[in-house]
Amino acid sequence: MTGRNTAGRKRRGVRAAAVATAAMAALTASRAPGPAAHASDPAQRPTPPPGQSVTGDTPYRTELPPLRARETGVGTDDSAAPVGGALPATVLAAYRQAESDLARSAPGCRLRWQLLAAIGQVESGQARGGRVSADGTTVAPILGPRLDGNGFALIRDTDGGVHDGDTAYDRAVGPMQFIPSTWATWGSDGNGDGRSDPGNVYDAALAAGRYLCAGGRDLSDPHDLDLAILGYNHSAAYLRTVRAWFGYFLEGHRTVPDLGGSATRPAPEPSRPARPRPSASTAPARQAGPHDASPGPSSPTPSPAPSKTAPGSGQEPAKPVLPVATSGVELPGDGVLPGAGPLAGNGQVR
Mean pLDDT of 261-268: 52
In this predicted structure, the answer to whether residue 91 has a pLDDT above a threshold of 60 is: yes
Strands 60-61 and 343-344: antiparallel
Query: Cα–Cα distance between 211 and 233 in angstroms, integer?
Result: 12
Burial class (CB in 10 A: 0-12, 13-18, 19+), 237: middle
Q: What is the mean pLDDT of the chain?
A: 72
Distance CA 122, CA 19 (A): 57
- CA nearest to 110, candidates 218, 248, 211, 207: 218
**In whole angstroms, what is the distance from residue 14 CA to residue 18 CA?**
6
What integer pLDDT is reported at residue 78 of this predicted model?
Answer: 45
pLDDT band at 70 (very low <50, low <70, confident <90, very high): low
pTM of the model: 0.63
From CA 164, how far away is CA 180, in angstroms rounded?
A: 8
What is the spatial distance between Cα 17 and Cα 15, in angstroms, rounded to a whole number?
5
Residue 296, pLDDT score: 40
In this prediction, residues 110-125 reach a mean pLDDT of: 98
Neighbouring residues of 147: CB distance < 8 A, sequence distance ≥ 6: 56, 58, 153, 154, 155, 169, 170, 171, 172, 179
Mean pLDDT of 239-251: 97
pLDDT at 52: 83
Report whether pLDDT(235) > 80: yes
